Amino acid sequence: MKKWMFIICSVFLLTACGAGEDTADEKKENLKKVSVVLDWTPNTNHTGLYVAKEQGYFKDQGLDVDIILPGEAGADQLVASGKAEFGVGYQESVTQARVQDVPLVSIAAVIQHNTSGFASPKSKGIEKPKDFEGKSYGGWGSPVEKAVMDSIMKQENAHVEKVNFINMGDTDFFTAVKRDVDFAWIYYGWTGIEAELRGEDLNMMYVKDYSDKLDYYTPVLTTNESMIKSDPVTVKAFLAATSKGYQYAIDNPKEAGNILLEAAPDLDKELVMKSQEWLAPKYKDDAQRWGEQKLEVWENYASWMYDNELLDKKLESKKAFTNEFLPK
């Protein structure tokens, strides 16, 4: 009798263990696979995404998220074509895409205020927009660069035609300003922080300080109209996890920085940690919740772009972004 009881119990135990394993496998298989394409190599603009993946926030929402580099196609193109569900972009590029009937939609602002601007070593003596005259600017060949520079130089009766524009491509800022150019457009949260660590003093002119219309969202998270219409549940789940990831980075910059470093070990640790500390309060800033976008910000920047002949037609701002999928 005892022998039979042992066999029966063993069968039940094996069955239970097998069922447990099947359930775990099924749970793994039931995760919806999606991808998010970065705009550049991994940096502290992306930390919330890596936190959401490492901490299991995506899995908690039923998602298996692959974070990938853009390659030659670029995030906007991959997202707009449906080859990737989500991407990291910019208000500028989304605006340009929308007026060309490309179905990109911004679903969250990664940082609330524009942290970019024109930077130069202090030794160059470029302290105000008028000082751009007679200097060499290193950029990436976008018409927006010249338009922004022109708009802020005009405030001091200076002329953008007196600036020498050089396309420096992917050349490192610090190499370029020593060898090829006098100033360039940077994000202070990364390149500016790196300058601090190098002990190299910069003159920094944030573009938002010269016009409210230039305080636009950069970067943003994007998806496409088809995704919103066909699978809003996944969009909502993705943002629920991502929001939690960025909130973690806001509350725990050191730990979040370490998570980014684990995912991208080639990054400079000191730069990541200091950048993470600098950016932590800026992700959400004065917004009621992380990721929230304002209609006036989209309207202001679009009107500025249109007035500067950077758009062929006016933007329907309400269709360019949505707060619908952010956690309440």
DSSP string spanning 231-282? -HHHHHHHHHHHHHHHHHHHH-HHHHHHHHHHH-TTS-HHHHHHHHHHHHHH
Q: What is the pLDDT of residues 111-132, one digit of tens each?
A: 999 999 999 999 999 999 999 9
Q: Is the Cβ–Cβ distance between 85 and 56 less than 8 Å?
A: no
Contacts 24+ apart (CB under 8 A), 193-202: 193/271, 193/274, 193/275, 193/278, 194/268, 194/271, 195/119, 196/274, 197/270, 197/271, 197/274, 198/174, 200/121, 200/174, 201/121, 201/122, 202/119, 202/120, 202/121, 202/122
Residue in the structure block whose two tokens are 């920047």:
301
CA dihedral (206, 209, 210, 215) in degrees, to 10, reads 80
Tell whether 106 and 221 lie within a shared domain.
yes
Supply the pLDDT for residue 29: 67
Domain stop point among 212, 230, 247? 212
Do 221 and 109 have their domain in common? yes
Per-residue pLDDT at 19: 44
Range of the domain at 144: 116-212
123 and 109 fall within a common domain: no
Task: Give the pLDDT of residue 94.
Answer: 97
Does one domain contain both 106 and 154?
no
The verdict on residue 230 lying in a domain is: yes
Shared domain for 78 and 198, answered yes or no, is no
Rounded to whole angstroms, the maximal C-alpha distance in the chain is 102
For residue 161, what are its two tokens?
A: 């035609």
Residue appearing with tokens 């509350």? 251
Rounded to whole angstroms, the Cα distance separating 298 from 324 reads 16
Number of domains in the chain: 2
Structure tokens at 215: 């305080």
In a shared domain, residues 230 and 106: yes
Of 148, 181, 212, which one is at a domain's C-terminal end? Answer: 212
Q: What is the pLDDT along the chain (328 residues), one digit of tens a residue?
A: 434 433 333 333 334 444 444 444 445 569 999 999 999 999 999 999 999 999 999 999 999 999 999 888 889 999 999 999 999 999 999 999 999 999 999 999 999 999 999 999 999 999 999 999 999 999 998 899 999 999 999 999 999 999 999 999 888 999 999 999 999 999 999 999 999 999 999 999 999 999 999 999 999 999 999 999 999 999 999 999 999 999 999 999 999 999 999 999 999 999 999 999 999 999 999 999 999 999 999 999 999 999 999 999 999 999 999 999 999 8
- Is this prediction's pTM over 0.75? yes
In a domain, 53, yes or no: yes
Model confidence pLDDT, tens digit, residues 134-144: 999 999 988 99
131 in any annotated domain: yes
User: Does 327 map to a domain?
Assistant: no
Neighbour-count burial for 135-159, b at 16+ CB within 10 Å, e otherwise: bbbbbeeeebbbbbbbbbbeeeebe
Specify the pLDDT at position 73.
81
Q: How far apart are the first and last CA of the chain?
A: 61
Q: Which residues pair with 105 in a beta bridge?
A: 223
CA-closest candidate to residue 274, choices 188, 149, 186, 169: 188
In a domain, 290, yes or no: yes
Prior bond of 281 cis (ω within 30°): no
User: In this predicted structure, what is the pLDDT of residue 170?
Assistant: 82
